[in-house]
């Protein structure tokens, strides 16, 4: 995998305003393997090496009773030339389907792969298909923890605090632990 751990990405960290940030999650099947494979596939959608967080195990939040734990991560990609937020969203949804994701029948149900577009550069959107920045990213520890690992000084569009500060303010949301490195 071409992607790098945060400590070796000083040049990418300085230019985060050119990135699209993607939250990855899975809680069905071999979730860690699915996430790692999806992270590798994101390389095809990026003009530069992908900025990758560690993989984190988390409790399901606002999911149906009995939902298994999730594995989560965040990736930063440099969108390809002529990519738009809408075209990237379509590519991410196609990747989800390749991994076996089916149309949801229940809110926050278990899934093989979930790819949420958190930001696309500094662009904003508010349409039925896409809301940028992601409206709940700043409230979710399972997003903020891996995001703080790779871009702690990032200020998400629409926010006034850094990711590190938002993380320090978010309440307890259950189990969260970094999984051993791949």
Output the CA–CA distances (angstroms, integers) from residue 45 to 8, 40, 42, 64, 82, in the order listed.
20, 10, 5, 32, 12
Residues whose CB falls within 8 Å of the CB of residue 162, separated by 6 or more in sequence, listed in order: 152, 153, 154, 155
Note whether residue 114 is domain-resident.
yes
Is 55 in contact with 35 (CB distance < 8 Å)? yes
What CATH number has the domain bearing residue 117?
A: 3.30.70.560
Any domain includes 27: yes
The answer to whether residue 11 is domain-embedded is: yes
> What's the confidence (pLDDT) of residue 6?
42
According to the model, what pLDDT value does residue 103 have?
A: 78
The domain containing residue 52 runs over which residues?
6-137
Q: How far is residue 119's CA from residue 29's CA, in Å, rounded to a whole number?
A: 28
User: What is residue 75's three-state secondary structure?
Assistant: strand
Is 161 among the domain residues? no
Q: Is the pTM of this model over 0.85?
A: yes
* Sequence-distant (≥ 6) Cβ neighbours of residue 169 within 8 angstroms: 161
Q: Is residue 177 part of a domain?
A: no
Per-residue pLDDT, 98: 96
What's the pLDDT score for residue 24?
98
Q: Domain for residue 37, yes or no?
A: yes
Q: Is the peptide bond before 172 cis (omega within 30 degrees of 0)?
A: no
pLDDT tens, N- to C-terminus, the chain (182 residues) = 334 444 434 333 444 789 999 999 999 999 999 999 999 999 999 999 999 999 999 999 888 899 999 999 999 999 999 999 999 999 999 999 999 988 777 778 889 999 999 999 989 999 999 999 999 999 999 999 999 999 999 999 889 999 999 999 998 888 889 998 75
Q: Count how many domains the chain has.
A: 1
Q: How many residues appear in the chain?
A: 182
């Amino acid at each position: 995998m071409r992607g790098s751990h945060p400590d070796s990405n000083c040049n990418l960290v300085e230019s985060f305003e050119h990135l699209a940030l993607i939250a990855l999650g899975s809680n069905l099947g071999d979730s860690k393997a699915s996430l790692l494979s999806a992270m590798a596939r994101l390389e095809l959608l990026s003009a530069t090496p992908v900025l990758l967080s560690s993989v984190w195990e988390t409790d399901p939040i606002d999911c149906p009773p009995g939902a298994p734990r999730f594995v989560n991560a965040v990736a930063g990609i440099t969108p390809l030339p002529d990519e738009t937020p809408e075209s990237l969203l379509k590519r991410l949804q196609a990747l989800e389907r390749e991994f076996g994701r089916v149309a949801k029948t229940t809110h926050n149900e278990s899934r093989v792969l979930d790819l949420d577009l958190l930001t696309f550069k500094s662009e904003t959107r508010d349409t039925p298909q896409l809301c940028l920045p992601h409206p709940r990213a700043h409230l979710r520890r399972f997003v903020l923890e891996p995001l703080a690992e790779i871009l702690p000084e990032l200020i998400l569009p629409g926010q006034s605090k850094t990711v590190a500060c938002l993380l320090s303010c978010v309440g307890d949301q259950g189990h969260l632990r970094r999984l051993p490195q791949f």
